[in-house]
Amino acid sequence: MDSAITNTEHAIHAEHEHASLPQHRHHFETEEQQREVGTFGMWLFLLTEIMFFGGLFFAYLLYRNWYYPAFAVASNQLSVPLGAFNTVMLISSGFCMAVGVWAAEVRKKNLLVLMLILTTFFGLVFIGVKGVEYHEKYENHHIPGADFSVAQFVNPAAYGIKEQPLSPDMAQHTEIYFFLYFAMTGMHAVHMIIGIVLLFWLIRRANRGDFSSGYVAPIENFGLYWHFVDIVWLFLFPLLYLINRHPLH
């Protein structure tokens, strides 16, 4: 009985020794373990995200092979300059995030806050441009569903588009292209918006000095998430915008 009590006291004492940071959770033996667990969990979560997007990429692969002409023509409706601009925005955002992680690690509070704000800013610009692009599709009746129209693809001359007309049969398949466009970029945008919400929360905490004492796990793990969202776009941009844009054709 006696030994049990000493053991308990010993265990409690040991816990206090470890708990030098307020963020340390009781069920971890060391802070090192806690940090590793968080990062590992985030990587696994990103793995599930890859599988989630993977389903959409698989659908894209299938239909692009089946309906290549429809995909190529429909893809020409997207604005490459806007897409390229957005790519630059996201890369800048990712760069700021990377600098932010570094700033947190070397405990530069002001730099961290600035970088998080810039990350958010570039992210918001991306969402804004995406909104402009979506609106254009709405005006052209290119949003899949009851309102969808293939007129521009069957009779491009009437709309002043320099493009070979598609047969009505093939033109119908542009709806699948636009569905995939909206599903993939939409799912990406949802991830961006979630990320931006989290960024606001991180900015508040960073401003309060939560990450100035060497506790950087939330910043690091969010950085992983944000870079993942960037990378998804780096696949989406060529797959959706740049079909049939290479010089050989």
Partner 1 sequence: MSTANSQSAPISHTILSLPDQSTARMPKRSYLNNEDGLLSWLLTGDHKRIAILYLISITFFFFIGGAFAGLIRLELLTPQPDLVSADTYNKFFTMHGIIMVFLFLVPSVPATLGNFLIPIMLGAKDLAFPKINLLSWYLYLIGGTLTLAALVLGGVDTGWTFTTPLSTHYLNTHVLTAATAIFIAGFSSIFTGLNFIVTIHRMRCPGMTWFRMPLFVWSHYAASLLMVLGTPVLAIALVLVALERIAGIGVFDPAKGGDPLLFQHLFWFYSHPAVYIMILPGMGVISEVISTFSRKRVFGYTAVAFSSVAIALFGFFVWEHHMFIMGVSNYSALVFSLLTMLVAVPSAIKIFNWTFTLQKGSITFETPMLYAFGFMGLFTIGGLTGVFLGSLGMDIHLTETYFIVAHFHFVMVGGMLMAFLAGVHFWWPKMTGRMYPESLSKLAAVTTFIGFNLTFLPQFILGYLGMPRRYHAYPPEFQVLNVLSTAGATVLGIGYMLPLLYLGWSLKYGAIAGNNPWQATGLEWQIQSPPITPNFIETPIMDHEAYDYEWLANQTKHEVTTVG
Please list, in sequence order, all residues whose beta carbon lies within 8 angstroms of the beta carbon of residue 173, skipping any fewer than 6 positions away.
63, 66, 67, 70, 71
Q: Position 141: which residue type?
A: H
Cα 53 to chain centroid distance, Å, stands at 11
* Residues in contact with 135: Cβ distance below 8 Å, sequence separation at least 6, in sequence order: none
Measured from the CB of residue 99, what is the shortest distance to partner 1 in angstroms?
28
Chain centre distance of CA 116: 16
Q: Is 30 in the site for partner 1 (CB under 8 A)?
A: no
44 or 84: whose CB is closer to partner 1? 44
Q: Which stretch binds partner 1 (CB under 8 A): 77-85, 107-115, 139-147, 205-213?
A: 139-147
For partner 1 (CB under 8 A), the number of binding residues is: 44
Please choose, out of 36-44, 85-93, 94-102, 234-242, the segment that lies near partner 1 by the rule CB under 8 A: 36-44
Q: Which residue of 31, 64, 67, 222 would you call a contact of partner 1, by CB under 8 A?
A: 67
What sign has the CA pseudo-torsion 59, 64, 66, 72?
positive
Count CB neighbours of 200 within 10 A. Answer: 12
- Give the footprint of partner 1 on this chain (CB under 8 A): 1, 3-4, 7-8, 10-11, 25-29, 33, 36-37, 40-41, 44-45, 47-49, 51-56, 58-59, 62-63, 66-67, 144-146, 172-173, 175-176, 179-180, 183
